[in-house]
Structure 1
């Protein structure tokens, strides 16, 4: 493959022919790089930010490279060019809030808040808005400690904290399971020339016996009989796919948020100003829930030694837990404030409860019907968790058949959804749905590749999220939140899946790309009507000047002139010459072109198939006065008519200007 290498000033530095071993390597959360090998007759070192372009993506060198000298006229290169996401390895993840430049800080926020700070730091280095957010999972707030972290390491921490994956699509960063595109079927002799199985990394979870530990929230042992939530049949473990062997595993965190609970809605909010012992004022917030039919503070519902809490599910306080007191007389919850620092209280400022917010209260005994429902939810979560991790975790892949790949336009990209088919590997089902997690493409032919498919990746590159029920946290379902850029009418950036158009930009795009149904318009390219057309008020066809009638007709018709003009339909055909000076009588399709070179004084003559001319020469034959006609103008009828020369009486005096005689006329 011929590869052009540019310096950071976009000047061409080298043009090389790469070896057959040169590849484009893509692996989920690991690498997006081009490995290039070639020889060159001169010593040309490669500098940081020298780059190549491949499939519209810029791949750059991250450190200076000097080739190996084999002779005075031969230098060998074996160098890597990295995709734009690898710039994150050179950028620190800083806290830039209020002009800070902190490298050591903690952030308590949603997935979007953590990723937004990553985008801000990356764009800080670029000096403009280059990176943007794409798909982002929806999950409860998490606190992450960032300690001298690069943006690359920060991505790994964010993905691990929210139990998902990160991946880049150009300059769009995503925090979600990497799976995209329409599912394509691949198998041996169906796009693949080989199919192999390999072991996944050792830290990918796999077990066939799950020993679940239920939540202790809202569980009163004195009444329930257990200190933790139990499965409906009170079993202590669950087995699945033990034909693979007995592999035991204990899990508690995944089920911590499944417990007997009530989800309430805030009906009203009030606040009171108080003064503390230190003479500083503070605000206490109270809220009511008109839909709650039980009393959390009654003797029947109190659990000795436990302090009540409320966890907000929606609103400004979503994801936050607060100690709370319930007043049975006023039927109000009092929120106990949290003080992150001496000047701040939560709730406070904009972070306050509001009418319509939902919340879950806990650390008290719930009515029995809530315990029964919790057991059913717990069983469903345990079954799904075991089903997920007791499946084959192997990686499957093979080498591609480039002819099949090209013919069927198979995208060779990370996350591409695939259905691997094989009766031998996948038994009675005959297939395995997965996605591409590693793709190594040959630069000589990008359709020649080795692919690897896996439903899970190891913790070495952070755990993935299944897009079915949810990963790990079963109560807070993991959804994807798409953050969209709005392109204004003046914004020249390209349209992508993560950018939407403003109203004015939409009208601008329509005006540029579509033909108007309301106003006169024109198309810059050829338009083909596959199912014909109907013209109600006439059709005007303007064509470039044609040299011959045959060329003219070939512009108008493909098969038959009957397909061009329908019955009872007006059609006006205009032949537009390139310039006005090119107009001529002989250029018309039904006129012999020789008329343009006829002698002065010649007259046009209509033949059976075309017009020609009669030259002004003396007639040497016998004059038949009755059968020889001349044109004259009849003023009565305002038309030209032909009369025999015998009708002319009195003779004709030749004009003094001499021969040839000429007269002007107009063609209708």
Structure 2
């Protein structure tokens, strides 16, 4: 075999252990083992050809000097897919940004990755969907992004050369290669079959559709449902099955006379009535004011968006492609009319919006001819609803087809004599994604069309490959799932921006709040009119009313404060108030004592409240809780006018005020509880900055900062709130350590200290040991006191060893050696020990 090394060809003779390993959603590896009498100066980028494919040296080779002039090499070459691990995924609107949120179809995501890869990467055939998925990325490589995108769309990724696709990796499904055990049938002896434990085929699938662009009052449901009472035959797994939906469109089922099957569910909330339009003209109305209009001449004559508004919702235009991809803009509108759409001209007027520190649209961030867009907050005509229901049905059938198949895994070695005679005919079908019609007259007589999920071929004997065949879906990598949790921080950043919006308050809103308080308490609470001196010099200030001395607590009978939220959404114009338990600490309480019991107070449970759309922008509201003394429950109440504390048989607890709309938003101001200021001391539950950047919740002991951060010693950044939480945790740990010994066990990667217990793709095997710590100090403990645990997704590894058998063999090992075939790419390894046994051992060593 020749290694092409920067223009020089080096001839090597691989040993019989050299092999090619390929699999679905994996980068193929060609590992060569050979001996050579020279030190080979191999460079990254050296290539070798095998089975018609070029493999590249990306990572340094392993070399062992046996004696002078005789060296042993282990070199791993990779397929093109491995290069995806070296490139970061970039925001198409700003390539310097690697933490961002992107929405699109599988084809859109494939373009996103191909654009980040550059160097001739293209997009192949992708799964067709009419709906978008939104995925957050945080400094991801293109490789880790692949797994998450495939998981979001419940499909797979395929890399062929430099062509990337998101679709099921399938080849020769309609013309599978018949194989079975026995002479002249394809497989050597030792063929094995395993089922997937207790997972039964799904006969009934409950389906939840999306809620966007649906008017519940006219549609009858808040979410899209399947076509009702639909039934017909459909081809599933090469057989025709009779399918039907129920009378409410909640589920789809298949007629199965066996009576064996299970129920399943799927959330397809990205499918809803929609129309994707194309910009045919861009009008720059006023550059300084950021006023841009777009025209779509392809809008049908019968689709006048003005006729399909959903009461209480704002019409939103979202760009699907172009510089503004993923950006949402409100259309100009009033309470009763969509003034920002002109049907005769097919023209939309966009409302400028600050996003990521820029006012958009703008000359730098503008729409262009050919950009795709969609409208939301619109109840589209019936034909669009029916089309969405049909798309929901098609996706449900696809999901049901996947989950109906009995899940088997077969392993076997191909008979080389049988393969050699027919190699030109069948050799091309031994590839990941290829299909085999597998049967066995004894343990699998009916036969199954089953997919090759992985294959290993010896370099010196490629016609006797070892194959793994499976009907089970191929899951994404563990690393992709870890990266997904980290990427959630990008979405959390958006949530923090929302929190900042809820905390933010302008001076105008503060003045409005004071006026509302003055109106609410005058002659009701006994307060006099306001005073406005230039200077106040006093020994104390008490802010609050006896009637508002209540708090939200964790449960009836508890005095521990609980979080409480009032959130107003400018998009829907609705206010949402969280469920809570209210404890009033002064109602019918007389006298002062330091020994009052929690049962002396009045408690009420208040359910969550969501208001209708508050469409009167100039109106402000009081937020009350209405309760009764003889009841244990109450309700939230919005009122334009102040209400008395006690009225007939009702009690009105004043929670706060909700301002009128100022700069597109409403501000909530709390009015329950009290604050006191005395020389050198202030007693208060929370402190918030005027711009909403920071909230110090003294009652909960938390700090929330949306933009204040600092750099850790390890180079990562964190916000002040997280730092305070960590400080509290460390203080608690210090207390625990002072009162009780804290035992921990850490898994140590002997080759890469402090690395987590996962086997990198760059290593064929790894060695792990352990270290015990008492109160953070390393202590030697015998291996008889610890236990190793392993969990594979199928409860066995690629070598056929079950997790239980592995644990019985290695439970008390001093160290363990792991290979890729032992972990299936996803196995988790943990170590446990009994703290009392560890403490007893430690004390015995100390002579105690």
Q: Does 1:191 align with 2:203?
A: no
Unaligned runs of 5+ in 2: 229-246, 481-848
Match of 1:282 among 291, 294, 310: 291
Q: What's 1:552 paired with? A: none
Q: Is the 8 A contact 1:255 1:378 kept in 2?
A: no
Supply the distance in 2 between the matched residues of 1:267 and 1:96 (Cα, whole angstroms). 19
Q: Does 1:273 align with 2:280?
A: no
- Note the C-alpha offset of 1:425: 9.2
Match of 2:224 among 220, 229, 234: 229
Supply the distance in 1 between the matched residues of 2:187 and 2:122 (Cα, whole angstroms). 35
Q: Is the 8 A contact 1:30 1:461 kept in 2?
A: no
Q: Is the 8 A contact 2:170 2:434 kept in 1?
A: yes
User: CA 1:443–1:152 in structure 2 vs 1: closer, same or farther (change >3 Å)?
Assistant: same
Q: Is the 8 A contact 1:416 1:435 kept in 2?
A: yes
User: CA 1:46–1:53 in structure 2 vs 1: closer, same or farther (change >3 Å)?
Assistant: same
Supply the distance in 1 between the matched residues of 2:343 and 2:431 (Cα, whole angstroms). 58
Deviations 1:234-291 (A, max 9, x none): 1644455696966544322x254244x6x5978997857248xxx6352234667774
Q: Is the 8 A contact 2:201 2:404 kept in 1?
A: yes
Match of 1:150 among 126, 138, 141: 141
- Note the C-alpha offset of 1:24: 0.9
Q: What's 1:458 paired with? A: 475
**What is the DSSP-based 3-state SS (H/G/I as helix, E as strand, rest coil) of the residue aligned with 1:179?**
coil
Name whichever of 311-320 and 71-80 sits farther off: 311-320
Supply the distance in 2 between the matched residues of 1:119 and 1:360 (Cα, whole angstroms). 24
Q: What's 1:334 paired with? A: 348
Q: Is the 8 A contact 1:49 1:62 kept in 2?
A: yes
Match of 1:445 among 461, 468, 472: 461
Q: Is the 8 A contact 2:271 2:388 kept in 1?
A: no
Supply the distance in 2 between the matched residues of 1:315 and 1:65 (Cα, whole angstroms). 43
Supply the distance in 2 between the matched residues of 1:368 and 1:118 (Cα, whole angstroms). 36
Q: What's 1:400 paired with? A: 414
Supply the distance in 2 between the matched residues of 1:48 and 1:367 (Cα, whole angstroms). 59
Superposition CA RMSD, Å: 5.0
Deviations 1:563-607 (A, max 9, x none): xxxxxxxxxxxxxxxxxxxxxxxxxxxxxxxxxxxxxxxxxxxxx
Supply the distance in 2 between the matched residues of 1:201 and 1:63 (Cα, whole angstroms). 39
Supply the distance in 1 between the matched residues of 2:266 and 2:465 (Cα, whole angstroms). 39
Name whichever of 265-274 and 145-154 sits farther off: 265-274
Supply the distance in 1 between the matched residues of 2:134 and 2:351 (Cα, whole angstroms). 19
- Note the C-alpha offset of 1:45: 8.2
Q: What's 2:621 paired with? A: none
Supply the distance in 2 between the matched residues of 1:169 and 1:391 (Cα, whole angstroms). 27
User: CA 1:171–1:336 in structure 2 vs 1: closer, same or farther (change >3 Å)?
Assistant: closer
* TM alignment of 1:306-321, pairs within 5 A: 306-309=313-316
Q: Is the 8 A contact 1:28 1:438 kept in 2?
A: yes
> Considering only CA atoms, is the larger Rg found in Structure 1 or Structure 2?
1
Q: Is the 8 A contact 2:177 2:426 kept in 1?
A: no
Deviations 1:408-437 (A, max 9, x none): 2431553454241427699897442x5433
Q: Is the 8 A contact 2:23 2:455 kept in 1?
A: yes
Match of 1:414 among 427, 431, 436: 431
User: CA 1:199–1:77 in structure 2 vs 1: closer, same or farther (change >3 Å)?
Assistant: farther
**What is the DSSP-based 3-state SS (H/G/I as helix, E as strand, rest coil) of the residue aligned with 2:28?**
strand
Supply the distance in 2 between the matched residues of 1:91 and 1:370 (Cα, whole angstroms). 40
- Note the C-alpha offset of 1:76: 4.7
**What is the DSSP-based 3-state SS (H/G/I as helix, E as strand, rest coil) of the residue aligned with 1:234?**
coil
By relative contact order (CA 8 Å, sep 6+), the higher-ranking structure is 1
Unaligned runs of 5+ in 1: 124-128, 464-668
TM-score using structure 2 length: 0.43
TM-score using structure 1 length: 0.52
Supply the distance in 1 between the matched residues of 2:207 and 2:192 (Cα, whole angstroms). 34
- Note the C-alpha offset of 1:185: 1.8
Match of 2:28 among 28, 32, 45: 32
Q: What's 1:304 paired with? A: 311
**What is the DSSP-based 3-state SS (H/G/I as helix, E as strand, rest coil) of the residue aligned with 1:389?**
helix
User: CA 1:295–1:457 in structure 2 vs 1: closer, same or farther (change >3 Å)?
Assistant: same
* TM alignment of 1:27-106, pairs within 5 A: 27-39=23-35, 48-49=44-45, 51-68=47-64, 76-93=72-89, 103-104=98-99
Q: Is the 8 A contact 2:201 2:261 kept in 1?
A: no
Q: Does 1:250 align with 2:246?
A: no
Deviations 1:136-189 (A, max 9, x none): 555566665443333433443454455543333334444443334683422115
Q: Is the 8 A contact 2:429 2:435 kept in 1?
A: no
User: CA 1:50–1:201 in structure 2 vs 1: closer, same or farther (change >3 Å)?
Assistant: farther
